[in-house]
Amino acid sequence: MLRLGRREFGENDRVIMAIVNRTPDSFYDQGATFSDEPALARVEQAVADGAAIIDVGGVKAGPGDEVSAEEEARRTVGFVAEVRRRHPDVVISVDTWRHEVGEAVCAAGADVLNDVWGGVDPKLAEVAARYGAGLVCTHAGGARPRTRPHRIGYDDVVEDILRVTLELAERAVELGVRRDGIMIDPGHDFGKNTRHSLEATRRLGELTETGWPVLVSLSNKDFVGESLDRPVKERLIGTLATTAVSAWLGARIYRVHEVAETRQVLDMVSSIAGHRPPAVARRGLA
Helix (H, G, I), strand (E, B) or coil at 114: strand
| Alpha-carbon span 130 to 276, nearest angstrom | 37
| Alpha-carbon span 99 to 122, nearest angstrom | 8
Q: Which of 70, 137, 79, 78 is nearest to 98 (CA)?
A: 70
Q: Catalytic pick from 14, 60, 235, 255?
A: 255
Contact 141/117 with Cβ under 8 angstroms?
Answer: no
Q: Which of 243, 194, 212 is nearest to 137 (CA)?
A: 212
For Cα atoms 190, 193, 195, give the angle at the middle one, nearest 5 degrees. Answer: 125
| Alpha-carbon span 11 to 2, nearest angstrom | 8
For Cα atoms 199, 9, 204, give the angle at the middle one, nearest 5 degrees. Answer: 10
Active site residue 221: yes
Q: Catalytic pick from 60, 98, 192, 221?
A: 221
Active site residue 255: yes
Give Cα separations from 229 to 133, 221, 232 (angstroms).
Answer: 39, 12, 10
Active site positions, annotated:
221, 255
